[in-house]
Amino acid sequence: MDKLKKTADLLLDISSLLMVSGANTNRINLSLTRFATTLNCQAYSMVTHKTLVLTVTDNETEATFTRVKKIPKYQINFSTISSISRASWSALSEDWTIAQIEKELQTIKSQGRYPRAIVLIAVSLAGAGFCNIFKGDYLNMLVAFISTLLGLYILQTAHNHKINGNIATFLASFSASFIASLGVSYSLGSHPQAALATSVLFLVPGVPLINSFTDLLDNNILNGMVRFTNGAMTFLSIALGLFITMLIFQLN
């Protein structure tokens, strides 16, 4: 039972890390199966948006152990997902022990994230690039850059203060579109509307919507619907912030 308990805790830790990093349900189950096979057991999981339930069965003794874990705050990180996937294949092919898996998991957890300043600048440059795609000139691109920079800064600050995610999205959308609307009001550049349209693109919930689609295709209906609903709520928050800004500036 001690071995099963340790195995269940490890597999739950892996599942939780995959979930908060943005993995879909099928990838979580596949990774769990590989690690469980390596440790000579079977894993049966129920993955929901807030909770993980895992049952581990030893292949030799047929002893069973069940664990439940609450999923922490989501932090999208595709590098973590890729690292865990590679580790699961290595563990299966090289017959890793539980100690080796734990050591690799700690290494993955210790991987640093990009500094906040780099993320702000990179995402803002992407916003300016989108503005250029929509026929914005250099002045419009500058407005889009500043709008995205301010909106993302407010979004990150709100998350750091543990403000509700939908409220944080609304505040970011309102702030970014407000700055961009100033450009429209003063007719800055040749296509100021392009800066307004692209100022909130950084808020689009691509990961939840893609995972929703893949979960529904894999018959993980509950997770698919929850993720779709979260994505729809994010879109509503974006639209509300943009609508209020356009109402203030009387923009068509």
| Predicted local confidence at residue 232, as pLDDT | 95
Q: Taking residues 14-20, report their average pLDDT.
A: 94
Instruction: pLDDT band for 114, please (50, 70, 90 cuts).
Output: confident
CA distance 115 to 27: 28
Considering the domain architecture, whether residues 133 and 224 belong to the same structural domain is answered as: yes
Q: Residue 2 pLDDT more than 90?
A: no
Considering the domain architecture, whether residues 190 and 239 belong to the same structural domain is answered as: yes
Q: Taking residues 97-122, report their average pLDDT.
A: 93
Integer Rg of the chain from CA: 22
Quick one: which of 128, 145, 151, 161 has its CA closest to 238? 151
Considering the domain architecture, whether residues 92 and 127 belong to the same structural domain is answered as: no
Q: Residue 28 pLDDT more than 90?
A: yes
Quick one: which of 228, 225, 220 has its CA closest to 26? 220
| Predicted local confidence at residue 231, as pLDDT | 94
Beta bridge partners of 58: 41
Helices (H) and strands (E) in the chain, counts: 10, 3
Among 59, 88, 109, which residue terminates a domain? 109
Q: Residue 243 pLDDT more than 80?
A: yes
Q: Residue 213 pLDDT more than 80?
A: yes
Considering the domain architecture, whether residues 139 and 15 belong to the same structural domain is answered as: no
CA distance 64 to 44: 10
| Predicted local confidence at residue 17, as pLDDT | 95
Considering the domain architecture, whether residues 122 and 65 belong to the same structural domain is answered as: no
Q: Taking residues 57-81, report their average pLDDT.
A: 91
Among 57, 89, 109, which residue terminates a domain? 109
Among 109, 144, 175, which residue terminates a domain? 109
Considering the domain architecture, whether residues 152 and 176 belong to the same structural domain is answered as: yes
Q: Taking residues 182-197, report their average pLDDT.
A: 93
Burial class (CB in 10 A: 0-12, 13-18, 19+), 109: exposed
Q: Residue 202 pLDDT more than 90?
A: yes
Amino acid identity, residue 52? Answer: L
Sheet hosting strand 41-47, strand order edge to edge: 41-47, 51-58, 64-70
Q: Residue 252 pLDDT more than 80?
A: no
Considering the domain architecture, whether residues 126 and 228 belong to the same structural domain is answered as: yes
| Predicted local confidence at residue 124, as pLDDT | 97
Instruction: pLDDT band for 149, please (50, 70, 90 cuts).
Output: very high
| Predicted local confidence at residue 3, as pLDDT | 86
Instruction: pLDDT band for 108, please (50, 70, 90 cuts).
Output: very high
The domain total for the chain is: 2
Considering the domain architecture, whether residues 102 and 125 belong to the same structural domain is answered as: no
Domain span at residue 141 reads: 116-249
**pLDDT tens readout for residues 75-90:** 889 999 999 999 999 9
Average pLDDT, the chain: 93
Considering the domain architecture, whether residues 130 and 190 belong to the same structural domain is answered as: yes
**pLDDT tens readout for residues 29-43:** 999 999 999 999 999
Percent of residues, the chain, with pLDDT higher than 70: 100
Lowest mean pLDDT among 24-28, 111-115, 164-168, 237-241: 111-115
**pLDDT tens readout for residues 131-142:** 999 999 999 999
Considering the domain architecture, whether residues 60 and 125 belong to the same structural domain is answered as: no
Considering the domain architecture, whether residues 81 and 174 belong to the same structural domain is answered as: no
Quick one: which of 234, 123, 251, 243 has its CA closest to 186? 251
Considering the domain architecture, whether residues 124 and 242 belong to the same structural domain is answered as: yes
